[in-house]
Amino acid sequence: MIKLENLNVTKDRQQIFKDLNMEFERGKSYALIGKSGSGKSTLLNIIAGLERSKKHNIYIEGKKERFRTSFYRYKLGYLFQNYGLIETQSIDDNLEIGLKFHHLSKKEKKELKAFYLKEFEITEDLKRKIHTLSGGEQQRIALIRLILKNPKIILADEPTGSLDAKNGQKIIKALLSLKTKERVIIIATHDHFIAEQCDEIINIEDYRV
């Protein structure tokens, strides 16, 4: 599904990865573990095309990825550590982004949003602005938006960082429930309890220079 080949990454004039080779198979969930600053977020961002490496050899579904618009529209879903929501817009506006490229009727979109809002216990007015919500509420909105997008590749960077243990586990359970034979899930986390729930654990520090 995802293949990183001879990846070289330098940040702040320091080489982090040299000739890194790594593969992520479809139908599996992966945990990237390692201490803060070890390169977990950097690796996720490179897979997402948000950061570039000197040698840019990233293959997705057997083809070298050029990170064109279609990749972001249809393949990639990213649950950012800082949520990645548009804070000045409403809950509904942000959820609509996840549905933007699906050919659904207004009724179907409304029903989908209502289902997941109930599932994640979001009872706020959909016109409410994102910046007025708590961190936990914003994280759940971000997850609902990702689910509505229905991507093949799901990346999550410390998805429980702002949540208590109970709500954090709900997020992880929901994330891992999205795994299908056609999808890959990669979670960057420092929490070993979360990591152990994934199919494979990768200690990113084993790959640093």
Range of the domain at 165: 2-207
Say if residue 5's pLDDT is above 80.
Answer: yes
Domain count, the chain: 1
186: nearest Cα among 18, 42, 21? 42
List pLDDT tens digits, range 28-87: 999 999 988 889 999 999 999 888 776 668 889 888 888 888 888 888 999 998 899 999
Instruction: Supply the mean pLDDT for the chain.
Output: 91
Mean of pLDDT values over 119-129: 92
| Nearest by Cα to 144 from 198, 74, 79, 50 | 79
Residues 114, 116, 120, 125: is their CA dihedral positive or negative? Answer: negative
pTM to 2 decimal places: 0.92
CB 157 within 8 A of CB 44: yes
Query: How many residues in total does the chain contain?
Result: 209
* Dihedral Cα 160, 30, 24, 154, nearest 10 deg: -30
| CATH code of the domain covering residue 181 | 3.40.50.300
* pLDDT computed for residue 141 by the predictor: 95
3-state class (DSSP) for residue 47: helix
